[in-house]
Amino acid sequence: MKEYVLIVGGAGYIGSHVTKSLAKAGVPTLVFDNLSYGHREFVRWSDDLLLADLLDREALRLVFLRYRIRAVMHFAGFINVGESVTDPEKYYRNNIIGTLNLLEAMREAGTWVIVFSSTCATYGEPLEVPIPETHPQNPINSYGVSKLVVEKALADYGSAYGLAWCALRYFNAAGADPDAEIGEWHIPETHLIPLILDAALGRRPDIAVFGTDYPTKDGTCIRDYIHVNDLAQAHVLALSYLDAGGVPRAFNLGNGCGHSVLEVIEAAKKVSGREIAVKYGGRRAGDPPALVGTADLARSVLGWKPKHSDIMDILATAWNWHRKQFSG
């Protein structure tokens, strides 16, 4: 019987890029997705799309009965920081209960390997920058809390049941597949880079800057933007690491280099060659002023080498896909 890696949330932005990278590495996959945010057309590199919801325990159980699944990668989380502050229940239910259901189905089927999408939002307001994995985790929004609870569950399931896990704490995923087959596309769109590129294409009148009074060099939030294909590569490496008996642990995935919102807008103007109108607004709830990480551990332990560290390069891949997808 063929063995698969189950990609939960494989129709989404990061999950689809990882599925493509796994296919290139010769790893057979199945995508499990409810298509609430994902795109059917992003599922191209898998043997099947299993259309179901993580809150449906019976559907999950059947997937594990029907297929031999040797490992799981879990991307199916709600990710909007602002929304998690105004509608926390959505985040607790999907991100925590949904993941517990997944872990239950894995346990019942005897699938003991998982790579989990975690986040730098689990750290909260940084006490030191760049942030190492040992930094205290005090999230300031329900999104970060929901991911932290799952990290704790993974560690406990590891100790109690022998679950092999990696939690990959992404900084800000950005950019698109250099072949421009898939890219960053959320409905509704709330993320900075696709919104900026929408403004560049004239699909929106302007880009709103959320907060100009942060204690940063230009008053706007600083984030560490990491190319989605570099994230994808880290997943392939994390799976090999766990397959080789690596100790379960969390890894930061970032470039170690921060860019303010205004810097990203300036860079996008250069890359696109378009004018981008800017509207200045108030802060968005739940946003720490600066999030920049060190990924030394992923480099030394996983052998991870990000290839697209330059923000111009990241934006160029994003622009290339965005223009192809949306300029009609």
Residue ranges binding ligand UDP (CB under 6 A): 81, 172, 190-192, 195, 208-210, 221, 223, 261, 284, 287
Return all residues near 177 (Cβ < 8 A) that are at least 6 apart.
17, 20, 183, 228, 229, 317, 321
> Which residue number, 191 or 323, has a Cβ lying nearer to ligand UDP?
191
Q: How far apart are CA 259 and CA 248, in angstroms?
A: 31
Looking from the CA of 143 toward its CB, the CA atoms found within 13 Å total 22
> Which is it for the CA torsion 296, 300, 306, 310, positive or negative?
positive
> Which residue number, 112 or 319, has a Cβ lying nearer to ligand UDP?
319
Contacts 24+ apart (CB under 8 A), 215-222: 215/289, 216/260, 216/289, 216/290, 217/260, 218/260, 218/262, 218/263, 220/260, 220/261, 220/262, 221/260, 221/261, 221/287, 221/288, 221/289, 221/290, 222/258, 222/259, 222/260, 222/289, 222/290, 222/291, 222/292
Most distant pair of Cα atoms in the chain: their distance = 58
> Which is it for the CA torsion 229, 251, 253, 40, positive or negative?
positive
Kindly state the DSSP code that residue 172 receives in the 8-state scheme.
E
> Which residue number, 164 or 174, has a Cβ lying nearer to ligand UDP?
174
What residues are labeled active site?
A: 143
Q: How far is the CB of 50 from ligand UDP (least distance, A)?
A: 27
* Lookup: tokens for 65: 């009965």
Q: How far is the CB of 105 from ligand UDP (least distance, A)?
A: 28
Q: How far is the CB of 225 from ligand UDP (least distance, A)?
A: 9
Q: How far is the CB of 77 from ligand UDP (least distance, A)?
A: 12
Measured at CB, which residue is nearest to ligand UDP?
221
> Which residue number, 101 or 255, has a Cβ lying nearer to ligand UDP?
255
Q: How far is the CB of 211 from ligand UDP (least distance, A)?
A: 6
> Which residue number, 28 or 219, has a Cβ lying nearer to ligand UDP?
219
